[in-house]
Amino acid sequence: MADVKSVGVIGGGQMGSGIAQLAAVAGISVWLVDLDSEALKRATKSITNSVQRFVSKGQISQEVATNALKNLRCTSNLEDLQSADVIIEAIVESEDVKKKLFSELDRIAKPSAILASNTSSISITRIASATSRPCQVIGMHFMNPPPIMKLVEIVRGADTSNETFMTVKTMAERFGKIIVCSQDYPGFIVNRILMPMINEAFFTLYTGVATKEDIDTGMKLGTNQPMGPLELADFIGLDVCLSIMKVLHVGLGDSKYRPCPLLVQYVDAGRLGRKRASKEFVVTLVAVKTKHANWQVLGYLISPLSVRARNFHFSLLISLAQYLKACNRHYHLLFSSIIAAA
């Protein structure tokens, strides 16, 4: 089992910066890689602030924090990872993009280097097929945010060696994490269970069973969860949730994993959650965010009976909602017309 002294982390977003922070605090030399220099600046600021919060709470010493920031280096050049013992990828959840990156890393990394993916659902075996070292490719799925959440899901591909597994497991424990191990099946453990629940919450909203407030309150108080499923989806990113549901649907071939049309519509509209320029809970409205839209009209339009009776497609509802926003002063006439036509 190799002793990990140097780690490369690819992706300067919330996941990548959090993983880099864990390695740096653990006393490991870290290269954080992102093509966007502004993303690296944001990541450095985020890591600095996060480390200082841990100091203020007495969870680490100032000396550990100072050394952690010294351990961290940022770059936009993958070639700087040539000496890394372990390289952890934390980029977009796309199999094609990940395989392209792993093929490039296979060329750059030293022969003994382990290549790990933070994928939350994609097959490690297929990612490893893009390399000449499948025995040294493994899944290392951190929970969000990595510095806070205690769990790491380790996923072995078809060819992942015992030495690779033990090296990564030991490193994760050095990060202070609790390990669970999954075989290489779609969604692994956590998302195989979590994402269908989130998807069903969207279906519950989509079909008019309950409001988003009641859905989240019901699940928080009824099942003792810290977040409701819709709020959690907003935190994770709706695009990530949709991507995982697609992997589950295709990989397992079961209609129960079919992504909810409402989730698809939000992603198509660019409403991805908190990471997209808005700190507010984006799944607050069925169609548009406005102080003036008449939500009684929209509530009537999207009720299950009216949807079935009129065979509305959800894209039409979006258009109607946008029309109501622009012409709100005429909504009484519109509502009367709809009732008369019913």
Domain extent listing, the chain: 6-182, 191-341
Q: pLDDT at residue 60 above 90?
A: yes
What mean pLDDT is predicted for residues 265-272?
Answer: 94
CA distances from 11 to 35, 87, 90, 168 (A): 8, 11, 5, 19
The pLDDT assigned to 276 comes to: 59
Kindly indicate the confidence band of residue 274, based on its pLDDT and cuts at 50, 70 and 90: confident
pLDDT digits (tens, 9 = 90+) for 185-228: 999 999 999 999 999 999 999 999 999 999 999 999 999 999 99
Q: Which is it for strands 72-75 and 6-10: parallel, antiparallel or unpaired? A: unpaired
**Going by C-beta distance under 8 Å and a sequence separation of 6 or more, which residues neighbour residue 194?**
none
CATH class of the structural domain 6-182: alpha beta
Closest CA to 30 of 103, 76, 79, 86: 86
Q: Report d(CA 22, CA 28) in Å as an integer.
A: 9
Active site residues: 120, 141, 153, 191
Mean pLDDT of 233-238: 93
DSSP element (H, E) containing 75: strand 72-75
Hey, CA dihedral for 313, 314, 319, 320, is it positive or negative?
A: positive
Write down the mean pLDDT value for the chain: 86
Q: Residues 142-170: what's their mean pLDDT? A: 97
The predicted model gives 96-106 an average pLDDT of 97
Q: What is the CATH number of domain 191-341?
A: 1.10.1040.10
